[in-house]
Structure 1
């Protein structure tokens, strides 16, 4: 079973890095975006560009329905990362943060708090711009996640993560 890298293509700043790793390791990549902001196809043999219907979570839904054990998702979307973990896949942020069953619950809770603050009218700021150090961290983390995903594909499944409500 070959590891597939799924990229949440809506505003992903590390596509080129993913393409380099894909080419070096011979892994397929699916860049998924919605119809309102389709990703530009790179013209690389291992990279498939998938354009889904417009909708807030259409790209996320497409990825979550297809990703599985032994695959990796690159996304800044914490709820999508959680859905990927539920399916036994691995998830990685563009800044090199590996999402795991140990840290995803806290990230989801922090996201909910920030949303509540924004809804209350407080300025919470956005993410900091991606730096060279972030890109380097991402490349190292992607190599590690791909290697671990390959091991996951052949190991017995772990106990499933169950999100708290």
Structure 2
């Protein structure tokens, strides 16, 4: 079992790495070359760089992920694909994507895109808070224990 992180804009990489290392679960950070860093990652953490194309990280993650793996992303499309593959999929704001909520999330994304295309303004995401970090940490711990028990 592995943890895959859509890492370009993920504000909880430190939590993921710390909690996964405590449990001995490998972490793969998938990020674009535009975020290249020479910084060494701790043992058990691998960084895979992909082109800066819109879905390059998504395609790489889906090529690597297997049933029962955990994916962390804010991308609803990737979340949908991960669920279909039998993965546990989490958002960094501390909620879990499920077969019960993904259709509504995808529909909401579509409607917002259509509104923007027609010239309307839509609200951006709310700022990421310390409460969001703790919510994610708690959900991540639960998801790890579910991975280990499956």
Q: 1:143 to 1:42 in 2, by over 3 A?
A: farther
> Per residue, is there more helix in 1 or in 2?
2
Q: 1:114 to 1:146 in 2, by over 3 A?
A: same
| CA RMSD between the two structures | 1.4
Render the CA deviation track for 1:56-99: whole Å, top value 9, x for unaligned: 11111000111111111110001000011111101000001100
Pair 1:111 & 2:109 matched: yes
Q: Given the alignment, which residue of 72, 75, 79 partners 1:74?
A: 72
Match of 1:127 in 2: 125
Match of 2:50 in 1: 52
Q: Say whether the 8 Å CA contact 1:70–1:150 is kept in structure 2.
A: no
For residues 136 and 40 of structure 1, the distance between their equivalents in structure 2, rounded to whole angstroms, comes to 29
Question: TM (normalized to structure 2)?
Answer: 0.94
1:147 is displaced (CA, Å) by: 1.8
For residues 63 and 26 of structure 2, the distance between their equivalents in structure 1, rounded to whole angstroms, comes to 17
Render the CA deviation track for 1:6-41: whole Å, top value 9, x for unaligned: 000111111011111112111100000122233664
Q: Which runs of 5+ in 2 are unaligned?
A: none
Q: Which runs of 5+ in 1 are unaligned?
A: 153-165
Question: TM (normalized to structure 1)?
Answer: 0.86
Aligned length: 150
